[in-house]
Structure 1
């Protein structure tokens, strides 16, 4: 599973040395670099504060601090008030065209192999996201991009051109878009990139969910579909996929179809443009399971 759509549209690598210097110049806070974050995150690194506690430095190019504070960071704060294990934001600063965030370093390591216990905890966390933003109508929702291209991701033309299977999938996606609202609706907190690589565990228990930079207001069940796509790319215990599929089977079609269409477009388009034909087939195999 790749990173969030916000990252896909503007994938630029963090220069930690320059960023901590720029942050010091902007805020007067001097942080010490403490190495890159694992997992290939191009926009995150570990840092230490003067009191020696460690945090995560994040760099969001071509972004505005006000937008982050009114959107994703507000989502996280609403969840934290409910006891959700999301990282606190310790510092936010606008540095040129980028937003620099310093966030709490949560304990645990990312999930490589999803088991039934972890899936059960993930489903409980998803329930905790319900109606958390009912009093936050100004937090934006997100477009599905089923009828037109997204900003650097969810592009339709690559699917139409690649082969017959992808073209047929794009035709179905556009038809779903014609029958459903263009934007997600609801008052739940939505992560938008809820997959095992963004879930931390210690001794089998979930200790945190990270990378909320694309978080929006909408329908929490979006994250369950994202998780299904996420475990298609990773190992899972026998029966875990079937369990999650049964959860999705129980969702109303008018909820599931546009979300499934969005994720299908998102992953197949990205694979066509950035990975191998085998990767494209991998995502088509999953996408087609719910095309009807």
Structure 2
């Protein structure tokens, strides 16, 4: 693979906070003050301050995720209220409540147990809601800016072989069926904790949808692979009853998502890392 070919693949743009705040002021009349970039995240977020001194977080996202976040909060999940949503130059941006805490320095068993408890609170939260439809796994066609197939097809024989396996799994038509609320990006980087390691917030709900909440535990299992029995044991116990067909579909989605994103946005070492996670993880 040449660098020229890699650069031909589409990449997600970083958040241009100063420009977005200027456009928000033009559109809504609300002038927010930029305090600085927020740590973490692939696309970016920024800390902002309202005229009355309140501090919030600016992110790119979907305004329609707000009601889903509200559902989670009502069920006892610590989530941020959406305070402003705007459509800025073809991108939806959200200003949301800034929650206390910071990302965990290193995941531990206590954090995993708390995340499993949060996952339990997602059960059946959308049973009485006619929308949204269950989320897509994108195993046979590209996702909207992520889970792209062509980068795997072209990057190397190893990634092409993984893509072929993903396509075989996708041909069976697995879906993310269920009435649970699914976060879709459930990993320690989207959790905030206090100084005692207690979870104070679950953030980045942009992909939230209806489906099977156990998908989120497979996501967590994927990201924590290699973390040892203290981290993985409780997850494997919870996921033991998931059929191989369903588990492999969820694992295939994560394999596609992480390998594709690494090819387009990171280096060869990152690609190899996620291949090493993905390949032996199927049942």
Q: TM-score, normalised by structure 2?
A: 0.87
Q: 1:240 aligns with which of 231, 237, 257?
A: 231
Counterpart for residue 112 of structure 1: 105
Q: 1:268 aligns with which of 239, 243, 259?
A: 259
Q: 2:138 aligns with which of 132, 135, 145?
A: 145
Q: 1:286 aligns with which of 272, 277, 282?
A: 277
Misfit runs of 4+, over 4 Å: 235-238
Give the superposition deviation at 1:194: 1.0
Question: After superposition, what is the alpha-carbon deviation per residue over 1:176-203, rounded to whole angstroms, capped at 9, x for unaligned?
Answer: 111233x421111111111111000001
Mapped to 1, the partners of 2:45 and 2:150 lie a distance apart of: 32
Counterpart for residue 178 of structure 1: 171
The 3-state SS of whatever aligns with 2:84 is strand
Counterpart for residue 148 of structure 2: 155
Q: 1:34 to 1:246 in 2, by over 3 A?
A: same
C-alpha contact 1:180 1:258 (8 A) present in aligned 2: no
Q: 1:176 to 1:47 in 2, by over 3 A?
A: same
Counterpart for residue 191 of structure 1: 183
Give the superposition deviation at 1:19: 2.1
The 3-state SS of whatever aligns with 1:145 is coil
Mapped to 2, the partners of 1:85 and 1:192 lie a distance apart of: 16
Q: 1:278 to 1:20 in 2, by over 3 A?
A: closer
Gaps of 5+ in 1: 1-7, 61-67
Counterpart for residue 27 of structure 2: 26
Counterpart for residue 192 of structure 2: 200
Question: Is 1:46 the equivalent of 2:47?
Answer: yes
Q: TM-score, normalised by structure 1?
A: 0.85
Q: 1:9 to 1:119 in 2, by over 3 A?
A: farther
Give the superposition deviation at 1:100: 2.5
Q: 1:30 to 1:272 in 2, by over 3 A?
A: closer
Question: Is 1:130 the equivalent of 2:123?
Answer: yes
Mapped to 1, the partners of 2:117 and 2:57 lie a distance apart of: 26
Count of aligned pairs between the two proteins? 274
C-alpha contact 2:104 2:197 (8 A) present in aligned 1: no
Counterpart for residue 96 of structure 1: 89
Gaps of 5+ in 2: 1-8
C-alpha contact 1:184 1:219 (8 A) present in aligned 2: yes
Question: After superposition, what is the alpha-carbon deviation per residue over 1:236-268, rounded to whole angstroms, capped at 9, x for unaligned?
Answer: 576213432333333222321211111111112
Mapped to 2, the partners of 1:39 and 1:52 lie a distance apart of: 24
The 3-state SS of whatever aligns with 1:113 is coil
C-alpha contact 1:76 1:212 (8 A) present in aligned 2: yes
